[in-house]
A and B are shown apart, each in its own frame.
Chain A
Amino acid sequence: MNDLLIAGGIGVAFGCALECAGLGDPPKLAGQFYLRDFTVLKVMLSAMLTATLGVFWGARLGMLDLGALYVPETYLLPQGVGGLVFGVGFVLSGLCPGTSCVALASGRIEGAATILGLFAGVLTVGLAFPAIEPFYRSTPHGPLTLQSLTGLPYGVVVAIVTVVGVSTLAWIAKREAGR
């Protein structure tokens, strides 16, 4: 029960943040792929940098147990191919699974249309799974992280990601100021 209260609370905050950023707005999301609107990249990079640095310093200061965090497992091919298919869908819809719910909740029927498609998509995979399963389970690498892949210390990888992320945000800001 307590778990589900946390789930609901986190969800409310998540939905609120996405709506405030304008990520329930399909032309705005699609605009990212035409370099007209950089909201998607700005929100994603700021959020990811905040969480990356928060997890790193939280663990360093003993406030967070890194071992208790679930790191998504890497399956190179299905995740690469899945990303490619997902990317085309993203431009078609102007929404992703989470933001389709935001769009629907803020009164846009594109959200409902995308949700309908999402259900059709996951149902297809579920029904065709016996045929897809060998590919789905191919190229497994376990909970591989950038630091275990490169052999660099955790702090160094976090520093590199931070520099690259902040530089990208600075480049976007400069580009927007130049208009």
Chain B
Amino acid sequence: MRACRSYADAHATGVCLGLVLLACFALTGQGLGASGAFASVASGAVAAVSPNTAVHSAWFRSYLQDGSPWTAWLVVEIAGVLVGAAASAAIAGRMRRPLVHTTRPARGRLFAAVGGGMLMGVGAALARGCTSGLALSGGALLSVGAWIFMMALFTAGFLAAPLLRRLWP
């Protein structure tokens, strides 16, 4: 197996990411995002399976009022993220084969990932955004809520980390 190539310089990629965000601001008037795409797809799925349930939650309704949730701006953006990340990993020789035994993560870590995803889904829904949409994009526009979210996120992360040390030896 070919060794995985190292990643690019963090500062340089950070600046590139900042320029992508800046382009996004200039072209669309809003920032990048991620959790909103999950909310749109979830709302679309609920509306398809049980329209009644979707109607009774103002939260699902808010994702269904501006046209199809399947082609919402953030959903298309996240589809782009999948393509861009896959291309970048493939070109740089960093693509993993997920079912190869040696690179597969322990089962405990997969359960933790599902649990972590759930907590992040709840947290992002309450906060109206995640690390991309609220912390990074809102933070760059000096939104107070974005900075509160970011401070709370890192505080909780640093407090929880010692308790989860077994997960990340």
* Chain A interface residues (CB < 8 Å from chain B): 3-4, 6-22, 24-27, 30-34, 38-39, 42-52, 54-55, 58, 63-64, 68-76, 78-102, 104-110, 113-127, 129-130, 132-133, 135-136, 141, 143-147, 149, 157-158, 161, 169
Contacts and interface: CB of A to CB of B under 8 A. Distances in A.
B116 A87 contact: no
Interface of B is mostly: helix
Nearest 10 interchain pairs by C-beta: A121-B121, A11-B80, A117-B117, A50-B18, A46-B14, A83-B152, A87-B156, A82-B127, A15-B84, A92-B116
Contacts of B95: 106-107
Given A11-B77, A15-B81, A98-B132, A88 B142 contact: no
Query: Interface residue tally of chain B, by bracket?
Result: 35 or more
30 contacts: A8-B77, A10-B77, A11-B79, A14-B32, A18-B85, A34-B161, A42-B11, A42-B14, A43-B14, A46-B17, A47-B140, A48-B140, A71-B141, A78-B126, A82-B124, A82-B128, A83-B150, A87-B156, A88-B156, A91-B167, A97-B34, A97-B131, A100-B117, A116-B117, A118-B38, A122-B42, A122-B121, A124-B122, A130-B57, A146-B144
Residue in A11, A21, A88, A136 with the greatest tally of chain B CB atoms within 10 Å: A11
Given A79-B148, A102-B81, A52 B130 contact: no
B80 to A, nearest CB: 2
Given A21-B10, A114-B116, 20 more contacts: A13-B80, A14-B81, A17-B13, A21-B14, A44-B136, A45-B14, A51-B21, A78-B128, A82-B122, A86-B130, A86-B153, A92-B164, A101-B34, A106-B96, A114-B114, A119-B38, A122-B35, A122-B124, A141-B144, A146-B144
A133 B114 CA distance: 25
A42 B10 contact: yes
Nearest to A7: B76
B154 A94 contact: no
B48 interface: no
A19 B85 CA distance: 5
Contacts of B79: 8, 11
B57 A127 contact: yes
Contacts of B84: 11-16, 19, 105
A169 to B, nearest CB: 7
B157 A95 contact: no
| Majority secondary structure of chain A interface residues (helix, strand, loop or mixed) | helix
Contacts, number: 495
A123 B128 contact: no
A141 to B, nearest CB: 7
Contact of B116 (A19, A93, A147): A93
Contacts of B37: 97
Given A15-B83, A71-B141, A109-B105, A126 B57 contact: yes
B81 A106 contact: no
A48 to B, nearest CB: 5
